Amino acid sequence: MSQKTSATSDMTRLSLAISTCPNDTFIFDALVNGQIPSRGLEFETRFADIGDLNRLASDGIPDVVKVSYAHLPALLDTYVALTAGGALGFGCGPLLVAKDKSDFERISSPDIAVPGLNTTANFLLNRYFPTIEKKTVLLFSGIVDAVSAGNFDAGLIIHESRFTFRDKGLQEVADLGNLWHQETGLPIPLGCIVARRNLPQKLLLSINTLIAESVAYAFAHPDASEAFVGRHAMELSPDVIRQHIHLYVNDFSLDLKPLGKKAVRTLLKEKLSPESHIFVDDPV
């Protein structure tokens, strides 16, 4: 844990790990770039792909880190989920794509490129396509090109790839988020922010509040983060960046509220007991 307090400063320093995706940089810009009062907290920020973020959390390295909701049960001894800063909503789930949907449906044992085995995307793939066994983990941003090149029978895409896959001649096989919504009527929980469970409760609540304030600032000043988001957006066009933020950042990013928490517990019900202390504001 990198929490430090010096004799000459009352700032509490925490390590933060998030992705380079526009939703994360949009949400955290105000927090990490000093556009809102810091509440006595200072963050040392690193960026990584969601698969690497899940691994960092498994190793217990960052104080605060973005992870896949599907990976949360494996982390609860070390981390607690915050109710602000995450990605959860309707119409924003992962897509299964292929060069030709009809050809794909005739393949008995397809080889699928996935963005990580511990991701919510792969969790949903297992749920709705349980017979698929052949999977290869790729960086999420390389899956569309790999499928387009014929290296895989299909790809499981997340983030901004849902806006660009048709440009590479691919077709949608299934929208796993829509399948989830049809089954449950709930928003799909994708990723959340977790913080070290052994931090003082007052500090955990302050982190959660600060992230919510960062989200609120981003909503109120949507152009303020443009340079920061663009610098990390891997050459995405401004139009794709806007679509990405609009899709993945919403009221649930401010606070999960009861509906969001219900969606998370429904997603994870086979891995957790109803009494599991998941969220920072759960009664202990």
Q: Does residue 3 register a pLDDT over 70?
A: no
Give the model's pLDDT for residue 8.
Answer: 38
Pick the CATH number of 12-89+187-267 from 3.20.20.70, 3.40.190.10, 3.40.50.720, 3.40.640.10: 3.40.190.10
User: Where do the DSSP E strands lie in 93-158?
Assistant: 95-98, 111-114, 134-137, 154-157
Tell me which architecture the domain covering 95-184 has in CATH: 3-Layer(aba) Sandwich (3.40)
Average pLDDT over residues 171-187: 95
pLDDT in tens, 197-256: 999 999 999 999 999 999 999 999 999 999 999 999 876 788 889 999 999 999 999 999
Mean pLDDT taken over the chain:
92
Residue 159: left if φ>0, alpha if ψ -120 to 50, beta else—which one? left
pLDDT in tens, 250-276: 999 999 999 999 999 999 999 988 778
Give the model's pLDDT for residue 91.
Answer: 87
Secondary structure (H, E, C), 15-77: EEEECCCHHHHHHHHHHHCCCCCCCCEEEEEEECCHHHHHHHHHCCCCCEEEEEHHHHHHHCC
pLDDT in tens, 5-29: 433 357 899 999 999 999 999 999 9
Is the CB of residue 103 less than 8 Å from the CB of residue 178? no
Question: How far is 74 from 91, CA to CA, in rounded Å?
Answer: 26
pLDDT in tens, 34-93: 999 998 999 999 999 998 999 999 999 999 999 999 999 999 999 999 999 999 999 899
Active site residue 71: no
Percent of the chain exceeding pLDDT 70 equals 96
Cα-Cα-Cα-Cα dihedral sign, residues 227, 233, 236, 240? negative
Find the catalytic residue in 71, 159, 181, 244: 159
Cα distances (Å, whole numbers) of residue 49 to 18, 56, 62, 176: 8, 10, 14, 21
Every domain range in the chain assigned CATH 3.40.190.10 = 12-89+187-267, 95-184
